[in-house]
């Protein structure tokens, strides 16, 4: 503790024009520490950061001036630089927030949203202006109400998370260390002009499909759910087929190649969820590549099909979660759906839940694996029926779809030249049985 106090005393007396160097050195100390020494290095750097930044507010809660303002400016310059390095490294806004939550805590994820929205305010002409998915991610972060720039970042983060100044500085440096150590990943390009046009053209139809899926997820009447399912299937399948025929008629010069998007795979039971997404992607003539360390899958396909994959996967995951919660054998330790609830109350230093083994965990894992397998069969059947509908020109459609399959496969191989396969095995017979039954009852919203 003597060393920490000495460091703080030294920093408190620095001139305002030296604060940038103090903050940079504090960050580099945290960044470059070995994992075994990271906690001590972050604590030491947090002492320096907290002292350099002051309280950040006066007695009335207004933003402070002088040293605190200079420290905040220097800190924001550093965080902007790190956020932009994430973008050049292939990451997108949702990816950064997801990895912060996955590797650290929900509080760090909220802080990541603060840094991203702050960077976006200084770079209005960045990727968001060209990529509708990027813009949608930024809009979702903004809707969650991140820091709006009032006061200093350190003080605002401390108030929201109810942290003292030192603890807020620790939290900031833990996130900056994470961002600074993120590896480069395969970038996902923005949709081309043709792809964006296809997305806009499909928007009214996709709105209708979303409404159908929402009703199907909420209804208690199987007959109504089946009717909604059939309608959604018809809309999605026909839209994908029409797009393939239009592209075929336009020829190579008028067609657009495959694109890609990332879809989050939340804890727990990520392998089973990735398996479900793979089944949905395959049925929609896409390919999914799971990055287990980062908590997402990259889905490669044509624009109309990518949207269908995300809609259908989300809906099926919600239905699986609801079905599993209605099954007593699943226990109360957390569902398998989009909420990603964790089992047990034990937590580590960062507040991350630690999962213990139990029969209910085996049940839920087996449930989701069986659910994904049966959904794959159902979707494959539905795709086959839609493709061979009697009113479709098979002599034109089948070659067009085959060409798209080749394009998707080639694009996936180019983006991910080295992949490995994973085999999942259910260990609980009752979970497997209930998961298969739930998949048979599930409402399908895609071809």
Which tens digit of pLDDT belongs to each residue from 95-120?
A: 999 999 999 999 999 999 999 999 98
Report the chain's mean pLDDT, rounded to a whole number.
78
Check residue 334 and give its pLDDT.
Answer: 40
Rounded to an integer, the average pLDDT of 321-346 is 51
Residue 148 pLDDT greater than 60, yes or no: yes
pLDDT bucket at 446, cuts 50 / 70 / 90 = very low
Q: Which range is least confidently modeled, 19-23, 83-87, 132-136, 384-388?
A: 384-388
C-alpha 202: how far from its chain's center? Answer: 23
Instruction: Please give the C-alpha separations between residue 407 and each of 190, 295, 301, in angstroms, as whole numbers.
Output: 17, 26, 8
- Distance between CA 404 and CA 394 in Å, rounded? 15
Residue 304 pLDDT greater than 90, yes or no: no
- Distance between CA 408 and CA 288 in Å, rounded? 10
Reported as a single tens digit per residue, the pLDDT across 340-398 is: 333 333 333 444 443 434 458 888 888 888 888 888 888 787 778 777 777 787 778 88
Separation of first and last alpha carbons in the chain:
63
Q: Which residues pair with 296 in a beta bridge?
A: 264, 291
- Distance between CA 64 and CA 115 in Å, rounded? 20
Residue 12 pLDDT greater than 70, yes or no: no
Residue with tokens 């970038």: 187
Tell me the two tokens of residue 156. Answer: 């605002």
How is the beta sheet containing 296-301 ordered, strand by strand?
259-264, 296-301, 287-291
pLDDT bucket at 235, cuts 50 / 70 / 90 = confident
- Distance between CA 434 and CA 24 in Å, rounded? 55
Tell me the two tokens of residue 322. Answer: 């609801």
- Distance between CA 102 and CA 142 in Å, rounded? 20
Check residue 57 and give its pLDDT.
Answer: 46
Tell me the two tokens of residue 403. Answer: 């060409």
Residue 201 pLDDT greater than 80, yes or no: no
Closest CA to 250 of 258, 259, 242: 242
Residue 228 pLDDT greater than 60, yes or no: yes
- Distance between CA 327 and CA 415 in Å, rounded? 40
- Distance between CA 232 and CA 282 in Å, rounded? 18
Instruction: Please give the C-alpha separations between residue 84 and each of 78, 110, 121, 216, in angstroms, as whole numbers.
Output: 10, 18, 13, 41
- Distance between CA 407 and CA 363 in Å, rounded? 39
Q: Which residues pair with 290 in a beta bridge?
A: 297
Cβ(260)–Cβ(417) under 8 Å?
A: no
């Amino acid at each position: 503790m003597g060393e920490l106090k000495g460091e703080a005393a030294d920093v408190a007396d620095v001139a305002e024009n030296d604060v940038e160097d103090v903050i940079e050195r504090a960050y580099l100390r945290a960044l470059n520490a070995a994992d075994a020494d990271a906690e001590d290095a972050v604590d030491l750097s947090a002492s320096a950061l907290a002292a350099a930044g002051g309280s950040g507010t006066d007695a009335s809660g207004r933003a402070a001036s002088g040293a605190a303002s200079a420290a905040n400016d220097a800190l924001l310059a550093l965080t902007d630089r790190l956020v932009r390095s994430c973008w050049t490294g292939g990451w997108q806004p949702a990816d950064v927030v997801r990895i912060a939550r996955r590797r650290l805590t929900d509080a760090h994820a909220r802080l990541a949203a603060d840094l991203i929205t702050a960077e976006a305010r200084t770079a209005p002409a960045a990727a968001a202006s060209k990529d509708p998915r990027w813009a949608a991610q930024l809009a979702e972060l903004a809707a969650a109400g991140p820091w709006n720039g009032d006061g200093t970042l350190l003080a605002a983060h401390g108030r929201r998370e109810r942290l003292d100044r030192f603890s807020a500085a620790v939290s900031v440096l833990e996130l900056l260390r994470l961002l600074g150590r993120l590896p480069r990943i395969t970038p996902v390009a923005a949709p081309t002009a043709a792809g964006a046009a296809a997305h806009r053209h499909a928007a009214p139809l996709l709105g209708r499909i979303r409404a159908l899926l929402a009703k199907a997820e909420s209804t208690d009447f199987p007959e109504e759910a089946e009717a909604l399912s059939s309608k959604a299937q018809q809309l999605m399948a026909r839209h994908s087929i029409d797009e393939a025929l239009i592209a075929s008629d336009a020829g190579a010069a008028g067609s657009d190649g495959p694109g890609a998007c990332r879809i989050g795979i939340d804890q727990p039971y990520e392998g089973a969820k990735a398996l479900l997404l793979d089944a949905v992607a395959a049925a929609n003539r896409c390919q999914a590549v799971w990055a287990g360390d980062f908590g997402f899958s990259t889905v490669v396909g044509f624009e109309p099909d990518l949207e269908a994959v995300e809609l259908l996967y989300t809906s099926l995951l919600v239905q699986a979660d609801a079905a599993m919660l209605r099954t007593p054998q699943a226990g109360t330790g957390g569902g398998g759906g989009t909420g990603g609830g964790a089992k047990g109350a034990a937590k580590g230093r960062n507040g991350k839940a630690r999962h213990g083994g139990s029969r209910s965990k085996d049940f839920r894992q087996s449930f989701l694996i069986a659910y994904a397998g049966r959904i794959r069969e159902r979707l494959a059947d539905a795709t086959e029926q839609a493709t061979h509908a009697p009113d479709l020109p098979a002599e034109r459609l089948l070659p067009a779809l085959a060409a798209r399959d080749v394009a998707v496969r080639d694009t996936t191989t180019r983006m991910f030249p080295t992949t490995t396969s994973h085999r999942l095995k259910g260990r609980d017979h009752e979970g497997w049985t209930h998961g298969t039954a739930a998949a048979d009852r599930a409402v399908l919203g895609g071809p």
